[in-house]
Structure formats: structure tokens, C-alpha cells
């Protein structure tokens, strides 16, 4: 009989509380609820055409993107799961125009939850890995009532961040500010099992991740960095680089957490007045927190993502994250070339 001790998510959270002593019961409940909701989303994803979850819905979200059926389903699963437990004051999502305050009939908690319910929507119908991204903030101040203002905190104030990848395995990656832990869903028992603790991103890499079709639109520092990578062994970097672009940020970031690399979705001149494509509060911030906790770096090209003070819930940002030495290099190029 296999006697290896399996640590469940519940046990991990309790042990973290004993070790670090600052994980309130409410936060532990929140993580458990989120993990359970991810299980439901994973089941829906796995059913695919059999569950009638593929294809587009008939609606658009606040960013003017046509919603996929799974964007809507995942959003509903998360709202429903998180409303009644008493652990939240309000939620915000890529798929909801404004914040969703916990209804009066339920007790209100002290935490705020933001999510990208389904990341990588363009990959749903083609059976490629997709995911969900979470950011957890604490409600600051003791004012009664809650508004969008309460959410506009810099990412460094996150109490927790997580993402779930629905791929060949379903994997939940979590930080509570004491390193990064990885859980794999055991489909037979329905339990999230700790499969890696203290995840570290190597400082150096030979792999970059960027949508190359936008090359002609990039700013000079990004162009310079990628040109140098493409120069390979004979070029200024003196080594060959490999390229990977899944098109689901969760999957690209997960690869970087697993074996290193650099991921970029920088500002480009297709939409010069937008700072980038990805959203700060529920895509860039949680990923930046996880990446930093794993020893990597995350900037918008010039400044640390976690230091940006948001002004809008759905604000966008340029993203450069991953192996520290590469992110530092790209950031230096921005400083030099402006
Ligand atoms: P979402 O599906 O939540 O809208 O996010 C998609 C994002 C991100 O996951 C990915 O890195 C990027 O869009 C891909 O963009 P391109 O299609 O421009 O490559
Ligand atoms: Mn997304
Ligand atoms: Mn999404």
C-alpha cells in the first residue's frame, strides 16, 4: 500500500496558520470556497461539447468582447459560490461591469475578491489549456457600505492570489504571501492535493513568450530585447532562445513557474492610448504577486506592477514577468530607450 502522506488544501491552510499565524479563518474559508468553485469549472470544461459549454454566448462584456458560454458559466459559478459564506464584502470580475456587493440577506465579510473567471477564452473551443485567476484584498477602513474605491488598492496589498489551470491536469497555484504552493486535483477523490511547495522560478532562461504577430507595433525596447533573443548563439546574447505562446496567460505563466521563462504583453501602438491588453486588477496583479513570491519579477516595462495604484476597476497594463534577470533586462531597456 502507498503510505506517502498526502496533504490536502485544507490541511495546508491549517498548517500555514499554525506556522505563520496570520491567516484568518475567513481567508481560509475564502480559499476553500474558491477551490471548490474551480472544481465545478473544471468539470464543466472537461464535459466540453457534451455539456453544451462550447461556443459564444449572445452577450458582450464591459470591455466590448463577445463572451463565450464558459466565460458566463464560470462567472456565475464563482458569484454563486462566494455570496453566502460571510467571508466577502464584495466581488469584481472581468465579466461584470461593476462590483457585486454581497446581498443584504447574507453576512458581510472583510475581504474583496477579484477574478478573471475564464482566462484564455479563445482556447476554449480548440481544447487547449485555460484557467481562472484570483486576487484577494482586505477591505481597508471601517466605513459602512462598499464601493469601487475600496478595490483600488495597489497589488502589494493583496492578501492572497491564485490561479487554476484546466489542462491535462487541473492545477491550483496559491500564494498567501509566504511562497507559492501547487495543488493537483485528484479527480477520483475530488480533493486538491499539495504536489509542490516553495515553487521557485529560475533566474535565467532561454525561453520567451510574446505574441510575435504584433512585432511591427512594439515599442523600441521590446523590439530590441526580442531581436537580441532571435540573434541566438551568434547574437549579443550568445545563446539560442526558444519561443512559446499558448494564448492563455495562465498556461504561459504556469510554464514559467515550472521551468522559467519571460512572458510579455507590452504596450503597443495598435491602441496607443491603452497601456496594454491585460487587466491590472484581476490578471496582472495576482500573477505578479505569485511570480514575485516564486523569486521572479513583474513590471509594466518601467515600474513594479505591484506598486501601481489603480484608478479604475478594469484598467489595463503592460506586462513583463518571469525569470528575474530577463525581466530586469527588459526593464533596463525601457529606461535606456524610453
Ligand atoms: P481573456 O480570455 O480573459 O480575455 O484573456 C486573454 C488574454 C490572455 O490570457 C492571453 O495572454 C492574451 O489575452 C492573448 O492575447 P492575443 O490573442 O492577443 O495573443
Ligand atoms: Mn484573461
Ligand atoms: Mn477572461
Q: Are strands 170-175 and 180-186 parallel, antiparallel or unpaired?
A: antiparallel
Phi, psi of 222 (to 5 degrees): -70, -45
Q: In which element (H, E) is residue 221 found?
A: helix 220-230
Neighbouring residues of the ion ligand 2, judged by CB less than 5 Å: 116, 119
Question: Rg for the chain (alpha carbons), in Å?
Answer: 20
Closest atom of ligand 1 relative to the 120 alpha carbon = 2
Give the model's pLDDT for residue 128: 98
Phi, psi of 134 (to 5 degrees): -130, 145
For ligand 1, is residue 120 a contact (CB within 6 Å)? yes
Phi, psi of 123 (to 5 degrees): -100, -5
Give the model's pLDDT for residue 276: 96
Question: Which DSSP category does 212 fall into?
Answer: G
Give the model's pLDDT for residue 136: 98
For ligand 1, is residue 248 a contact (CB within 6 Å)? yes
Give the model's pLDDT for residue 124: 94
**Which of 69, 93, 119, 261 has most ligand 1 atoms within 8 Å of its beta carbon, as the pocket-test mutant?**
119
Report angle CA 8, 10, 15 to the nearest 5 degrees: 95
Give the model's pLDDT for residue 132: 98
For ligand 1, is residue 61 a contact (CB within 6 Å)? no
- Whole-number Å distance, alpha carbon 140 to ligand 1 midpoint, is 31
- Whole-number Å distance, alpha carbon 266 to ligand 3 midpoint, is 18
Phi, psi of 138 (to 5 degrees): -100, 145
* Integer Cα distance of 73 and 96 in angstroms: 13
Give the model's pLDDT for residue 83: 96
DSSP H stretches of helix in the chain: 9-20, 25-47, 69-83, 220-230, 249-259, 285-293, 324-337
CB atoms under 10 Å from CB of 334, counted, come to: 23
C-alpha distances (whole Å) from 43 to each of 39, 80, 167, 183, 187 are: 6, 16, 12, 16, 9
**CA atoms within 13 Å, Cβ hemisphere of 336:** 11
**Which of 65, 95, 122, 250 has most ligand 1 atoms within 8 Å of its beta carbon, as the pocket-test mutant?**
122
pLDDT in tens, the chain (338 residues): 556 789 999 999 999 999 888 889 999 999 999 999 999 999 999 999 998 889 988 888 888 888 899 999 999 999 999 999 999 999 999 999 999 999 999 999 999 999 999 999 999 999 999 999 999 999 997 667 899 999 999 999 999 999 999 999 999 999 999 999 999 999 999 999 999 999 999 999 999 999 999 999 999 999 999 999 999 999 999 999 999 999 999 999 999 999 999 999 999 999 999 999 999 999 999 999 999 999 999 999 999 999 999 999 999 999 999 999 999 999 999 999 76
Residue bearing the CA closest to ligand 1, atom 14: 247
* Integer Cα distance of 113 and 230 in angstroms: 40
- Whole-number Å distance, alpha carbon 119 to ligand 2 midpoint, is 4
* Centroid of chain to Cα 15: 24
* Integer Cα distance of 119 and 327 in angstroms: 23
Give the model's pLDDT for residue 173: 98
For ligand 1, is residue 121 a contact (CB within 6 Å)? yes
pTM of this structure: 0.97
Amino acid at each position: 500500500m502507498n503510505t506517502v502522506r498526502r496533504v490536502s488544501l485544507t490541511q495546508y491552510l491549517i498548517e500555514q496558520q499554525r506556522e505563520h499565524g496570520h491567516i484568518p479563518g475567513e481567508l481560509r474559508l475564502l480559499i476553500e470556497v474558491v477551490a471548490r468553485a474551480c472544481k465545478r469549472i473544471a468539470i464543466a470544461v472537461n464535459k466540453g461539447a457534451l455539456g453544451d459549454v462550447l461556443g459564444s454566448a449572445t452577450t458582450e462584456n464591459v470591455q466590448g468582447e463577445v463572451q463565450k458560454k464558459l466565460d458566463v458559466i464560470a462567472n456565475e459559478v464563482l458569484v454563486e459560490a462566494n455570496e453566502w459564506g460571510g467571508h466577502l464584502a464584495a466581488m469584481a470580475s472581468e465579466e461584470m461591469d461593476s462590483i457585486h456587493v454581497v446581498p443584504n440577506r447574507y453576512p458581510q465579510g472583510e475581504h474583496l475578491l477579484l477574478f478573471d473567471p475564464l482566462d484564455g477564452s479563445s482556447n476554449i473551443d480548440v481544447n487547449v489549456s485555460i484557467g481562472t485567476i484570483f486576487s484577494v484584498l482586505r477591505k481597508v477602513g471601517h466605513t459602512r457600505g462598499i464601493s469601487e474605491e475600496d478595490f483600488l488598492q495597489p497589488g502589494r496589498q493583496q492578501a492572497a492570489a491564485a490561479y487554476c489551470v484546466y489542462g491535462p491536469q487541473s492545477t491550483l497555484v496559491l500564494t498567501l504571501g509566504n511562497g507559492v504552493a501547487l495543488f493537483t486535483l485528484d479527480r477520483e477523490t475530488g480533493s486538491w492535493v499539495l504536489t509542490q511547495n516553495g515553487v521557485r522560478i529560475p533566474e535565467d532562461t532561454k525561453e520567451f513568450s510574446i505574441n510575435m504577430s504584433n512585432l511591427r507595433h512594439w515599442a523600441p525596447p521590446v523590439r530590441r530585447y526580442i531581436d537580441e533573443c532571435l540573434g541566438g548563439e551568434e547574437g549579443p546574447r550568445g545563446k539560442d532562445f526558444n519561443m512559446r505562446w499558448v494564448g492563455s496567460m495562465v498556461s504561459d505563466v504556469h510554464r514559467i513557474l515550472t521551468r522559467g521563462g519571460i512572458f510579455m504583453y507590452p504596450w503597443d501602438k495598435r491602441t496607443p492610448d491603452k497601456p496594454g491588453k491585460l487587466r491590472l486588477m484581476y490578471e496582472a496583479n495576482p500573477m505578479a504577486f505569485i511570480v514575485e513570491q516564486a523569486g521572479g519579477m513583474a513590471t509594466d516595462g518601467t515600474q513594479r506592477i505591484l506598486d501601481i495604484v489603480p484608478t479604475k476597476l478594469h484598467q489595463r497594463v503592460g506586462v513583463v514577468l518571469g525569470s528575474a534577470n530577463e525581466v530586469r533586462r527588459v526593464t533596463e531597456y525601457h529606461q535606456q530607450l524610453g
